[in-house]
Amino acid sequence: MSGKTKTTAGAAIFQRLKALGVEYVFANSGTDFPPIIEGLVRAQRDGIALPEAVTIPHEHVAMGMAHGHWLISGKPQAVMLHTNVGLANGAIGAINAACEHVPMLLMSGRTPVTEHTRFGARTVPIGWGQEMRDQTALVREASKWDYELRFPEQIGEVLDRGWAIAESTPKGPIYLSLPREVLCETIKADLDQPPAMTPVNGSPTDDAIATAAKWLAEARHPLVIAQRGAGDEEIFAQFADWADKWAIPVCSWWATRLAISTEHPMHVGPDPKSWLAEADCVLVLDCLAPWWPDKHPVNPDAKIIHAGPDPLFSRFPIRNFRSDLSLAGESNLLLPRLFSAMEALPHDAEALSDRRQNIIAKSQENRSKARQSAQDSAVGGITKAYLSLKLGEMLQGLRSSVFSELGAQLGVLKCTDYQSWFQEPHSGGLGWSVPAAMGARLADPERLCVAVCGDGSYMFANPTACHLVAEAIGIPFLTVIANNAEWGAVRASVEGLYPEGSAAKANRMPLTALSPSPDFTLTAQASRAYAKQVTDPATLEAELAEAIRVVTEERRQALLDVRVLPD
């Protein structure tokens, strides 16, 4: 379709989103949606192509699905919520997306401004009850840009601007407020034209790249700490070759995305402590918090390079990790330039060979110890480490992604593909992994997506809503609950601060127990999912295999409620 089309502003939203490349609009509708819903039906009647509208019974699920879809597709999706109350439920997802630089177009209606006369004015009591002086304040700190639509003819250009800003370095969510009266007004607009704006993707100066290359090439003990991947699939492979060629150890401290295979000889595991102590040059690759300041001493003579979309993480008021050189840019643009700049630099082949062999030996020792410890831990019950070990074995050879939320342990769990591992955002908005796995599965229908989460995180995911959506639109995926019947992270934090304290010695620590544990299999079975409870280490492997078979062959959702021992 081309040329100006007569439509309501509400109906125009989906048509413009389609032109921007949005495939899904994850929506939780309300009384502000009539012009949007009317427009959807008319577009379907007229054969107009639109993004798929997915009904989501809870806003947190919608946000998580948009997040997960982007992790696999690299394309920002849209979320549409109901006035202030829907936006409030979606705020945690917005915080997660902002923390991880995940672009999405977040919209919610605004209760009508007018009380009568104007079409779309208030009709029921919630029209008064849902008004706020500053609705956008609910997500403003998590949004790169926000705006309240004033006039219907703005809708196309405003969506274009929001999309371009969301996709610009550093990426992140934007928010658009949509008053109902404005959505009800009729406009004439070209809705299938290319975007009016292009995103800005930054990259460092040549001098900055050259300096970083020189420091790394001359270092006797270089180190990379990577948390959020190394770019796309091509750069992931180049990064692995570069680390091997230059014999640079890579640490995955609290990695939310994978920068290098866990089996790569230069991958030294999750703990940077011993490496940081002797490192003379450290490349901090897209890390919000690259080490634990009180536990990981840094060589004071080391040169520290921070690189990534926002190397200083300017959204956060306090983040004072030293940076002697800051390289701002998307990893898939920045890293190839760094690799190329180092190609021409001199190097001592014999010294590199010696360093490489030393790293390989330590790397292999770390992996062997971690996996042997995991194997030995299953005495008297299943541990998270043992669950991670067995899940990794079951996933080998499969096109898969694990979405871990306080559930699986990277390194014990083998992950080799650049999209094989995703961990909960460092913002800590719980309930992320299950909807993220669902959104990822929509983005890649042939990928086995596995959400591994604690029992507390599972409850935060609004699991009834998740399983309903998975059944309604046909999302076969696997949920594995590492169920220890407690807030394990809270207990570990208490014990970390007060190792000899009264709480650590108590038989029952206050404010951490989640017992008696519900039978989570019944929640999944309510939506006709395959669901089993697992308690015996001897049966875990077979139960994982059967659940994976159900997802991949029967193509329906499955859940394993795995009762694990406390950490």
| CATH classification code of 206-364 | 3.40.50.1220
Contacts for 154 with CB less than 8 Å, ≥ 6 apart: none
Beta bridge partners of 225: 251, 284
Element (H or E) spanning 8, and its range?
strand 5-8
Is there a contact between 439 and 66 (Cβ–Cβ < 8 Å)? yes
d(C-alpha 411, C-alpha 254), whole Å: 11
Say what the pLDDT of residue 1 is.
Answer: 41
Handedness of CA 77, 163, 228, 245 (dihedral sign): positive
> Of 196, 144, 562, 549, whose CA–CA distance to 385 is shortest?
562
Say what the pLDDT of residue 3 is.
Answer: 63
Ranges in the chain annotated CATH 3.40.50.1220: 206-364
Say what the pLDDT of residue 513 is.
Answer: 79
Domain 5-189 in CATH 3.40.50.10470: no
Question: Tokens standing for 359?
Answer: 């790293």
Beta bridge partners of 448: 400
Contacts for 500 with CB less than 8 Å, ≥ 6 apart: none
Q: Which residue has the tokens 């991958």?
A: 267
Question: Tokens standing for 246?
Answer: 């230059």
Say what the pLDDT of residue 14 is.
Answer: 94
Is there a contact between 69 and 22 (Cβ–Cβ < 8 Å)? no
Say what the pLDDT of residue 491 is.
Answer: 75
pLDDT tens digits, one per residue of 171-199? 999 999 999 999 999 988 888 899 999 99
The DSSP code sequence of 83-94 is HHHHHHHHHHHH
d(C-alpha 534, C-alpha 543), whole Å: 7
pLDDT tens digits, one per residue of 494-541? 888 888 888 777 877 887 778 888 999 999 999 999 999 999 999 999
| CATH classification code of 378-563 | 3.40.50.970
Number of residues assigned to the chain: 567
pLDDT tens digits, one per residue of 33-64? 888 999 999 998 999 999 999 999 999 999 99
Ranges in the chain annotated CATH 3.40.50.970: 5-189, 378-563
Which residue numbers in the chain have pLDDT < 50?
A: 1
d(C-alpha 258, C-alpha 422), whole Å: 7
